[in-house]
Amino acid sequence: MAGKPALLQEIEPVSPHESLAGRDLCSVADLTTTELAAILALAHDIKANPAAYRWALDAKQMVMFFEKASLRTRLTFETAMNTLGGAAVFVDQTQSPLGERESLADIARNVERWVSVIVLRTYAHETITEMAQYASVPVVNALSDLEHPCQAIADFMTLQERFGSLHGFNFTYVGDGNNVCHSLMLTAALLGAHCAVGTPKNYAPKADIVAQARAIANVTGSNITLVNDPVAAVKDADAVYTDVCTSMGFEHEATKRAPIFKPYQVNEVLMSYASPKAVFLHCLPAHRNAEVTDAVLDGPQSVVFDQAENRMHAQKALLLMLLGAGRKR
């Protein structure tokens, strides 16, 4: 490839990166505050200086096993790996869940001999933790029924771009206490941001994740607050986040959930209770005029497409750190 030899200079591992080399990312809680800060700092540098990392993962291979449909997660991981000089291999598991045809242990013991990193998008979180147990190469959670760590990291990167330091920041999530909500709570806690979660009764985030986030928050000096009143949750928020009311795998509950979540729709009235400088976030895809109105999603406070772009930069940083690489000298 023209120009490649000149760019293929020695890659300089950066000290914080080495602490993640060979590790897995199954949950945001796998990271310390320092490690998360290092990922975010690297992501910002990659976004500002992409050419400095062009061949950082030369000859590295990434396999992606996806049991669920994807636009942003698949394309941002593929473009991340390809623009770092590596190769991405996609395996569609939507018709054949992992572990059905062959045990996860056997898959892991095969795949680890061919690739440098395994990325999984699954239904059961146990699929990810079991693959991580058996595979000797890093395993990354690209979404499970419990968490979506890569999404949350990109989301808080987006907030850092807009606001700088997030210590003491007021972050609000409104809607279903789902996998995205879990990762957002944990990420906010690690960064010292206050997190208010507003959900209907019986749709709160899992108690063990809340306890985990609060334990982290006790150390970083932030608060995790759960309420059922969406207005109380959004009051004076610096950022308001929502997600679909019916996640993948729960489509059969859509009719039941629609009236329950209607009061939690993020619209111009609800946003008016937030800080005047507040931004709106959504992990996408959005059900327009269901959990969020067009006026908010397409309005001046929305940063949803910045979030989508930053998935690629944040995942580049994560891949570099898990594979022990950094800037070229």
- The full DSSP string for 231-265 is HHHHTT-SEEEE--SS-TT-GGGHHHHHHHHGGG-
Strand pairing class (139-141; 117-121): parallel
DSSP bridge partners of 121: 66
Q: What percent of the chain has pLDDT over 90?
A: 90
Active-site annotation holder among 151, 212, 301, 307:
151
The CA distance from 111 to 65, in Å, is 11
Annotated catalytic residue 311: yes
Active-site annotation holder among 283, 301, 313, 315:
283
Instruction: State both tokens at 278.
Output: 């507040």
Active-site annotation holder among 121, 282, 313, 327:
121
Instruction: State both tokens at 140.
Output: 């990354």
Mean pLDDT within 46-73? 97
Annotated catalytic residue 181: no
The CA distance from 169 to 163, in Å, is 9
pLDDT above 90: residue 280:
yes
pLDDT, tens digit (0-9, with 9 covering 90-100), for 189-240: 999 999 999 999 999 999 999 999 999 999 999 999 999 999 999 999 999 9
The CA distance from 199 to 233, in Å, is 9
Instruction: State both tokens at 11.
Output: 């890659």
Active-site annotation holder among 17, 148, 182, 313:
148
N-terminal to C-terminal alpha carbon distance within the chain: 21
215 contacts: CB under 8 Å, gap ≥ 6: none
Per CATH, which fold does 4-147+310-322 belong to? Rossmann fold (3.40.50)
Annotated catalytic residue 148: yes
160 contacts: CB under 8 Å, gap ≥ 6: 40, 44, 166
Annotated catalytic residue 214: no
- Residue ranges of the domains in the chain? 4-147+310-322, 151-307
pLDDT above 90: residue 310:
yes
Annotated catalytic residue 243: yes
Annotated catalytic residue 283: yes
Indicate the pTM of the whole model: 0.93
Q: For residues 39 and 31, is the Cβ–Cβ distance under 8 A?
A: yes
The CA distance from 135 to 104, in Å, is 9
The CA distance from 321 to 117, in Å, is 11
The CA distance from 109 to 128, in Å, is 14
Active-site annotation holder among 160, 194, 243, 327:
243
- The CATH number assigned to the domain with range 151-307 reads 3.40.50.1370
**DSSP 8-state assignment for residue 329:** -
Q: What percent of the chain has pLDDT over 70?
A: 93
Instruction: State both tokens at 296.
Output: 């908010």
Are 4-147+310-322 and 151-307 equal in CATH topology? yes
